[in-house]
């Protein structure tokens, strides 16, 4: 996935692709680099009103 976002950036110059690439290569971003999509509602807790 990182290679794809870098390729898109180099071919188009799209800043969003570059920012996504940078986000994916950060240490601790292993979950973002996963090839498996996260089903809706399972990635983050929502609606936990305090």
Residue 44 in any domain: the answer is: no
Predicted local confidence at residue 46, as pLDDT:
53
Predicted local confidence at residue 47, as pLDDT:
57
* Residue 2 domain boundaries: 1-33
Whether 5 and 13 have beta carbons less than 8 Å apart is answered as no
Residue 22 in any domain: the answer is: yes
Counted domains in the chain? 1
Predicted local confidence at residue 13, as pLDDT:
95
Residue 4 in any domain: the answer is: yes
pTM score > 0.95 for this model?
Answer: no
Residue 3 in any domain: the answer is: yes
Residue 38 in any domain: the answer is: no
Residue 46 in any domain: the answer is: no
Predicted local confidence at residue 27, as pLDDT:
80
Tokens of 12: 């188009």
Query: How does pLDDT run across 1-50, given as a tens digit for each residue?
Result: 889 999 999 999 999 999 999 999 988 765 555 554 555 665 555 555 55
């Amino acid at each position: 996935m990182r290679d794809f976002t870098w390729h898109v950036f180099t071919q188009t110059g799209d800043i969003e692709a570059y920012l996504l690439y940078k986000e994916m290569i950060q240490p601790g971003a292993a979950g973002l680099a996963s090839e498996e999509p996260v089903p809706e509602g399972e990635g983050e807790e929502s609606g936990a009103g305090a």
